[in-house]
Amino acid sequence: MSTHISSQQLDDAVSFTVPLSKYDTDGLCMNYTLRRHNWEAEANAGSHEARLDWAKYVGPTEQFGGCSPINGNFSALALPLTKPERMRLVAYVLEYIFLHDSDGQHDDFDHPEQQEWKGTNPTLGRAQIQAKIMKEITSVDQACAERFKRTFKEAIAIILREKGKRFGSLDEYLDFRLIDAGTSVIEALLLFGMGVTLTEEEDAQLEPIRKPGFIALTLANDYLSFDREYLEFSDSGRENENMSQKLSRHLYALEYQISGNVVWSLNSPRYHPEARYAPNAGLEDELTAKSMPEALGINYEARFIRKAEEYPDQPSVINPHLRIVNSRKSSAETCLTTSDETGSISDSSDSRSSLDSASSSSEIEQTVVIRSPKSASLDSRHARAPVEYIKSLPSGGARDVFINALAIWLNVPPLAVSRVKSIGNRLHSASLILDDVEDGSNLRRGEPAAHAVFGAAQTINSGCYELVRAVEEARQLGLDSIEIVLEGLDELHVGRSYDLYWTQNNLCPSDNEYLEMVKKKTGGLFLLLTRLLLTCSTSKKFNKHIISDVEDLVSLIGIQYQIRDDYQNLCSKDYAEKKGFCQDLDESKFSFPLIHALNVQSESTHLLRELLQRRRDAGHLSYEQKKLVLKQLDRIGSMSYTRETLKRLEG
């Protein structure tokens, strides 16, 4: 008996057809097929989880996304061939795209913030959600993830490059509009949902139909063009016996995407105020259960599913004995179970997905599964990842130069020098990634900060892990070295605490308070490294007076380093490219020039204080406001005072 499964069987296993005649589409898509996913509850759960994450990391929103209890969730209608076990993640991604598109205050992913919600940084929040999306998609299907990540980056680059461009023709506009509408990203998500990868040859084979199809999807009034191309392509496909089932299903998936989008748009709460309800309450399953019998004459079954690896080799064809047990209401472990011929239940649950939703009510049966963990060898790769990322970025290597110079003078053996460098790099890297989290800084050395890639929690964990590794390395130099590192860390954290306290409470320190803080925070690392080198020195000529002089010199080097950094932050073009223009002003930091200006009584100081208050109100300063701050600093004489201070420190 043949075990071949037809496309129709594959499609029917995950979705059902809906007569388009039930909808008033104004003549659109009359000859199209409309499908609706059987596991729409998974789509609702994914959409709801995305909204929860948006509220947590970006800020509250009342905008609607892909959910529509009347005609159906966008993901269930436009991507009806998605594997059930991937529907929740697909809907999560699409809901995020909807919410990002609705966020009118942000034109792109890196735009300066217009508003900072209490307890959140929207830029970092969106970056964290994006990182979660990339991680989840890659963990499910690395091959499909590559296409999604590539198209996602390409779309963002083109949108940023073409923003504000005047188009000379309709064709030029449509080329941009296809990117702006995210058609290539949606197609990549469609392929991910189906678990399909395309070769270059297959992509080329689909190209004649892809663009007009995307135009029809983006501009509904162009659907006639797609009809013509679709018929021509379908005829050629019938004549070409070598066309694979994979390409055939992808072609149908594009058709379903268009009809699904049209039907979803008819009464989606996103576009129709009269259809709106509480968007963040997780009511979709309950409302859909009421509307579906009236609209389609069938009952709504809220099905949930577990993980992809719980399926057989053909996961899109669902086992007829499959019984889904889950609940959006419970945050406990839920499972997928199958019944055998005798009616017994076999457990096929695994660890819960990080995209599981704990949201609104459902009457579905729930099974809690408690398991002993399997023995596994967990290495430190995830603990190291954020720190290794920051170490991979270009660096001036100032600490290594400092250590090399001092090691020659102090006569320190090469092996010990190497160990001290390693300790210094670990402490510095940990300090960088933790400081960026605390300051809400999005850039580091011209690239996304570690927490913008890995998330704040993982980055903090990695920073703490790196501090532990530094102490471990110090142990290999001797017990005295451990004490030096611990004392140094104490000084570093005390100094940093004042920096954070002044910023948080908007308290401008005095010059002396600031210099004492810098001596602990920035100079503390230089002093720690110096003491390690002194401990490892083979020279006998250093008495306590010489050691005291060396430590005083190193403290001055640390102060000079920080004041120069403060100055560069405000006026260096290279610094602006790597960290952002006048980033210290956005972070409300009291830098050396600013402290000088605020401690001078003048009319310019009053204007400066007003500008700084605007930053605290809005969460940032505009480019023009920053330029005005610099103008006031120059007028007061703070920039020249900073330059003179640096010259004195340099001797």
Strand partners, 337: 323, 347
| Nearest-angstrom CA–CA distance, 558 and 570 | 19
Tens digit of each residue's pLDDT (9 = 90 or more) over 453-512: 999 999 999 999 999 999 999 998 988 999 999 999 999 999 999 999 998 888 889 989
* pLDDT at residue 149, rounded to an integer: 87
| Nearest-angstrom CA–CA distance, 150 and 155 | 9
Give the confidence band of 345 by pLDDT, cuts at 50, 70, 90: very low
Single-letter amino acid, residue 179: I
Ramachandran bin of 343, using left for φ above 0, alpha for ψ from -120 to 50, beta for the remaining angles: left
pLDDT, mean of residues 170-189: 69
Tens digit of each residue's pLDDT (9 = 90 or more) over 545-573: 888 888 888 889 889 988 998 888 888 77
More confident residue, 632 or 316: 632
pLDDT, mean of residues 591-614: 82
* pLDDT at residue 412, rounded to an integer: 87
Indicate the pTM of the whole model: 0.46
pLDDT of residue 328 exceeding 80, the answer is no
Give the confidence band of 109 by pLDDT, cuts at 50, 70, 90: very low
Q: Which residue has the tokens 């992509």?
A: 203
pLDDT, mean of residues 433-458: 86
- State the DSSP string of 167-191: PSSHHHHHHHHHHHTTHHHHHHHHH
pLDDT, mean of residues 303-316: 51
What domains appear along the chain, each with residue ranges and CATH number? Answer: 8-296 (1.10.600.10), 381-650 (1.10.600.10)
pLDDT of residue 615 exceeding 50, the answer is yes
Among 243-257, 349-363, 471-485, the range with the most confident prediction by mean pLDDT is 471-485
Contact of 65 with 47, CB cutoff 8 Å: yes
* pLDDT at residue 180, rounded to an integer: 56
pLDDT, mean of residues 103-120: 43
Range name among 241-245, 250-254, 620-624 with the lowest pLDDT average: 241-245
β-strand pairing of 345-347 with 443-444: unpaired
What are residue 135's phi and psi, to 5 degrees? Answer: -65, -45
Half-sphere exposure of 254 (CA within 13 A, CB side): 29
Give the confidence band of 529 by pLDDT, cuts at 50, 70, 90: very high
pLDDT of residue 312 exceeding 80, the answer is no
pLDDT, mean of residues 637-651: 87
Ramachandran bin of 479, using left for φ above 0, alpha for ψ from -120 to 50, beta for the remaining angles: alpha
* pLDDT at residue 584, rounded to an integer: 73
Tell me which residue of 430, 351, 336 sits closest to 383, measured CA to CA. 430
Tens digit of each residue's pLDDT (9 = 90 or more) over 62-97: 888 999 999 999 999 999 999 999 999 999 999 998
* pLDDT at residue 340, rounded to an integer: 39
Give the confidence band of 223 by pLDDT, cuts at 50, 70, 90: very low
More confident residue, 340 or 401: 401
- State the DSSP string of 367-398: -----PPPP----SHHHHHHHHHHHHS----H
* pLDDT at residue 172, rounded to an integer: 65
- Asked whether the CA dihedral 50, 54, 55, 60 is positive or negative, the reply is negative
β-strand pairing of 443-444 with 447-448: antiparallel
| Nearest-angstrom CA–CA distance, 46 and 237 | 35
Mean pLDDT computed over every residue of the chain = 77
pLDDT of residue 347 exceeding 60, the answer is no
> In the chain, what is the straight-line distance between the N-terminal and C-terminal CA atoms, in Å?
91
